[in-house]
Amino acid sequence: MKNSTKTLKTFAERFRAKISLDTATGCYNWTGGRASQGRYPIVGVTGQAPRYAHNIAWEIANGRPVPRTKPSDGSRRWEVHHRCQNRACVNPDHLLLLTSKQHTKAHQKLREAQKAEAALAKMTALDDQAA
Ligand SMILES: [Zn+2]
Ligand SMILES: [Zn+2]
């Protein structure tokens, strides 16, 4: 366990070098590689399959790995969600650990909010035409 903490630290230093701060949003934008699917930021880890950069950011900030155990709500796994909705972001303050069920729900809510906003924008546009 001691060993893995040490690896995480030197890794954290390399990790920090690939972040560019967006002062407007507070997002830490990942300047390294992106997954071809979903465009999520990925990181090559020596001796391991590439991993999502935002998961690693969460792990560095929390000092523990994203749980590999099955959540008690019947979800498939634990996932790290972007509260800022910026997939390239690796700012731990913008990240939230959720079960896959909670995560799906969070995105459903976001989509509904976007739909409501789009509908409202349309109504406003009609209003403008009527005026
Ligand atoms: Zn962000
Ligand atoms: Zn998410």
DSSP-derived secondary structure for 80-127: EEETT--TTB--GGGEEEEEHHHHHHHHHHHHHHHHHHHHHHHHHHHH
Distance (angstroms) between ligand 2 centre and the Cα of 4 equals 27
Does some domain include residue 129?
Answer: no
What is the Cα–Cα distance from 3 to 40, expressed in whole angstroms?
28
Does some domain include residue 43?
Answer: yes
> Which domain covers residue 69, as residue numbers?
2-99
Distance (angstroms) between ligand 1 centre and the Cα of 126 equals 34
Does some domain include residue 131?
Answer: no
Distance (angstroms) between ligand 2 centre and the Cα of 37 equals 15
The pLDDT, as a whole number, for residue 90 is 96
Q: Over 70: is that where the pLDDT of 5 sits?
A: no
The structure's pTM equals 0.79
pLDDT band of residue 24 (cuts 50, 70, 90) is: very high
Distance (angstroms) between ligand 2 centre and the Cα of 112 equals 14
**Nearest Cα residue to 38 out of 79, 87, 2, 78:** 87
Distance (angstroms) between ligand 1 centre and the Cα of 18 equals 15
Query: Region 119-123: what's the mean pLDDT?
Result: 90
Q: Which residues surround ligand 2, an ion (CB under 5 A)?
A: 81
Does some domain include residue 82?
Answer: yes
Does some domain include residue 32?
Answer: yes
The number of folded domains in the chain is: 1
What is the Cα–Cα distance from 43 to 73, expressed in whole angstroms?
29
Does some domain include residue 58?
Answer: yes
Ligand nearest the Cα of residue 107 is 2
More confident residue, 4 or 85: 85
pLDDT band of residue 3 (cuts 50, 70, 90) is: low
Does some domain include residue 18?
Answer: yes
